[in-house]
Chain A
Amino acid sequence: QKEVEQNSGPLSVPEGAIASLNCTYSDRGSQSFFWYRQYSGKSPELIMSIYSNGDKEDGRFTAQLNKASQYVSLLIRDSQPSDSATYLCAGRPSATGTASKLTFGTGTRLQVTL
């Protein structure tokens, strides 16, 4: 079982709609989760971090964490063509100690259509 799992997509949403990206994780002790956006041929860019159960909002982005269900999601409101990218979910497993090593999912490709 992969430690962090994502549907590879592509997820296609029309411009202006809400995009919902999901991620599950296997390590129940994981404490920190991150969403990265990666444009084709570019490096990952941190867009959201979440540490406790519930929602965290930043502009058009909302991250949701449900530790009981071991589930993390990213909502993008008013999706724009510029949001078209691959979104990587990452978690910090409990066994990582002080090294802060992140485990990444394989990413979900989002396509925002006009």
Chain B
Amino acid sequence: NAGVTQTPKFRILKIGQSMTLQCTQDMNHNYMYWYRQDPGMGLKLIYYSVGAGITDKGEVPNGYNVSRSTTEDFPLRLELAAPSQTSVYFCASSPSPGYGYTFGSGTRLTVV
């Protein structure tokens, strides 16, 4: 049972480039989330999804996009990367409201 799998683990982007952070879970969870974590700032919600085909913005969505075509996959797209997007990105999933999250191992992104 792999849980939540994120790829890549590390990436360096140049300003203006784009990339997709992959997230897949094998627990049949309906709820999936993308957070970013900056030093001393805690985890901030970027986007979330309550099921296939349904996504919504979180606290800090600007510069990002998501899609949820299947229950398993919830990729995060960065368009026109900026230095402010340098962060660690975590994908998480939950089986239903009221339950805690299972986190992926994270993607450390640097934009130069």
* A positions within 8 Å CB-CB of B: 8, 31-32, 34, 36, 42-46, 49, 51, 88, 90, 92, 96, 98-102, 104-107
Tell me if B74 is interfacial: C-beta within 8 Å of chain A.
no
With A42-B105, A43-B103, A44-B103 as contacts: A99 and B40 at CB distance below 8 Å: no
Contacts of B99 in A (CB 8 A): 49, 100
Q: Which positions 66-112 of chain B face chain A at CB distance < 8 Å?
A: 90, 94, 96-106
Tell me if B42 is interfacial: C-beta within 8 Å of chain A.
yes
* B positions within 8 Å CB-CB of A: 31, 33, 35, 40-43, 45, 48, 50, 56, 58, 90, 94, 96-106
Contacts of B97 in A (CB 8 A): 92, 96, 98-100
With A44-B90, A44-B103 as contacts: A101 and B98 at CB distance below 8 Å: no
**Which of A45, A46, A96, A107 makes the CB contact (< 8 A) with B42?**
A107
Are A100 and B40 neighbours in the complex by a CB distance under 8 Å? no
Are A34 and B100 neighbours in the complex by a CB distance under 8 Å? yes
Alpha-carbon separation in the docked complex, A46 to B106 (Å): 15
With A43-B103, A100-B98 as contacts: A106 and B41 at CB distance below 8 Å: yes
Are B103 and A45 neighbours in the complex by a CB distance under 8 Å? yes
Alpha-carbon separation in the docked complex, A92 to B48 (Å): 14
Contacts of A32 in B (CB 8 A): 98
Contacts of B94 in A (CB 8 A): 100
Query: Across chains A and B, which 4 residue pairs bring their CB atoms closest together, nearest first?
Result: A100-B97, A106-B42, A43-B103, A104-B43
